Amino acid sequence: MVLIAVGTVAQKSMGLYESQRLFFSSFVLWLGYLPLPGGRTISALLLIGLLTKLIVASPWRKANSGIFIAHLGVALLLIGGLVTAASSIEGYVALEKNDTTDHFYDYHKRELTIAKNKIPLVHIPLAELIKEKKISNSAFPFTITINDVCHNCTMAMRDSDAKNLKGHAQKVKLSPLADYLEEERNLSGAEITVTGASADADGIYLAFEPMEKQPEFTIGNDTYTLTLSRENYPLPFSLQLLESEKQVHPGTDVPRSYRSTVLLSDGDLHQRAIITMNHPLRYKGYTVYQASFNGGEDATQTKSVSFAIVQNSGRVFPYVASLTLCLGLIIHLCLRLPTLIKRSSHED
């Protein structure tokens, strides 16, 4: 209860994602140099204690069967929470009309992808891009050095004529900004020096998350690309946006409802589906929610549609746990009802 209270209050200063990661998604919570149990550790201890009580100290008897089943429902709820914490993936994808995708992007994690002829070779998490760090790999015939990196930054005009500047780096440089509390608003960037490629390819490149054209260079007949973007996850199917509709409250720009028609394709299966704010699309363990519309020329038009996509192996646990808990309470009430009625008659 203390952890929940502190973690909830901390959201105001550090944001929802960072608070959840620090307090609830951690095994150890560091208070300075003092280690304390994090949310996952506490949940695991509660589960072990509950199961131990049920198995060792609560022998099965008809009289306490309802309480036993109710506590089993609580145990299933804790197990579902741990399964969700260990396996769930949350992300998003933005589509314009007729666009198709077979992957989606993480809200928070970024990575530098080195690709050869558009085929990814290496994915390097943003956390491993440390200033002055050299990175080499047998998958690509050159070395990269991280000159600068920022978790949230913008572009500024370059006021120096450094040598070997390539692409966008010839005109602009990265300018760090304070991090937003909402992690998805932060835009990451890195200044990278490539060496050992070729006389024409070696130089300083700029990789910035929102840039449409990421750094690329040619070695022989091969083209290499350095892309800084959010981590992406494959989908076992593809989605194509066919139509989108946004309704607003009369006389305002305030959205009243969102509605998108998509084409789901999986092998020989091709199925149209409608996604609205309260009716997501569920398929093969993935849930696709209507998240937002990105503005068009007026309040009712859209340039693109954003969908939130969640893959959660433990999503059935809350339903099963709630039904089990409810069943246990009903059984307990039915078993206790004759005694309560008899006691009431004696008191009368």
Distance in angstroms (rounded) separating the CA atoms of residues 303 and 184: 20
Nearest to 239 by CA among 282, 176, 190: 282
Give the pLDDT score at 145.
96
Give the Å distances, CA to CA, from 220 to 138, 201, 226, 344: 17, 10, 17, 92
Which two structure tokens, joined as six digits, stand for 99?
């666009």
Q: Could you give phi then psi for residue 163, rounded to 5 degrees? A: -80, 160
Instruction: Tell me the torsion sign for CA atoms 239, 244, 247, 253.
Output: positive
Type of residue numbered 345:
S
Distance in angstroms (rounded) separating the CA atoms of residues 35 and 21: 16
Instruction: Tell me the torsion sign for CA atoms 168, 171, 177, 181.
Output: negative
In which residue ranges of the chain is pLDDT below 70?
Answer: 161, 255, 294-302, 346-348
Give the pLDDT score at 347.
65
In sequence order, the β-bridge partners of residue 271 are 264
Q: How many helices (H) and strands (E) does the chain have?
A: 5, 18
Q: What angle do CA 3, 324, 50 make, to 5 degrees?
A: 45
Q: Whole-prediction pTM value?
A: 0.70
Query: Which residues contact residue 166 at a Cβ distance below 8 angstroms, ignoring those fewer than 6 apart?
Result: 203, 204, 205, 215, 217
Number of residues that make up the chain: 348
Q: How many angstroms from the chain centroid is the CA of residue 145?
A: 29
Give the pLDDT score at 338.
83
Instruction: Look at residue 270 and give its three-state secondary structure.
Output: strand
Domain boundaries in the chain?
A: 2-87+316-347, 89-102+234-311, 105-232
Give the pLDDT score at 337.
87
Task: Count Cβ atoms within 10 A of the Cβ of residue 86 and give its class: 0-12 exposed, 13-18 middle, 19 or more buried.
Answer: exposed
Q: What does the CA dihedral 264, 210, 229, 119 come to, rounded to 10 degrees?
A: 70
Give the Å distances, CA to CA, from 214 to 131, 205, 209, 225, 285: 20, 9, 9, 7, 33
Instruction: Tell me the torsion sign for CA atoms 6, 12, 14, 19.
Output: positive
R_g (Cα) of the chain, nearest Å: 27
Distance in angstroms (rounded) separating the CA atoms of residues 239 and 92: 12
Type of residue numbered 203:
G
Instruction: Look at residue 118 and give its three-state secondary structure.
Output: coil
In sequence order, the β-bridge partners of residue 293 are 305
